[in-house]
Amino acid sequence: MSVPERLGDDVPLRLDIAAARAFPDGSMTASGLRREYKRGRLVIERVAGKDYTTLRAIREMREQCRSVVRERVYGFSQQTEPNPLPGSSETARSSDALVAAQMKLKRLSGY
């Protein structure tokens, strides 16, 4: 079957053809696109037992798959203000919650 060189972004294409158009180096296959569909990142249409997608849907999938460089959130170079007791505020909050739960349990059990 011959496929025109220039297709609109919303023209439904069989997965093998869509993969070849969107990834001309051959690095993506119909099976890879199905995996992305199962992961919830690609929209496909199933008509008469055949899977179709659009170049727009593949572009949107690629946006979801982009790696983002994340800023380090640990280490000494990231501290903006001194914290005399690292972790103490979190410990205090969980201890307060535990004490409150124990008091409520005692009150409900009548002790």
36-63 pLDDT, tens digit each: 999 999 999 999 999 999 999 999 999 9
CB 15 within 8 A of CB 54: no
pLDDT band at 100 (very low <50, low <70, confident <90, very high): confident
Write down the pLDDT at residue 70. Answer: 78
**43: Cβ contacts below 8 Å, ≥ 6 apart:** 37, 53, 54, 57, 60
Domain boundaries, the chain: 13-65
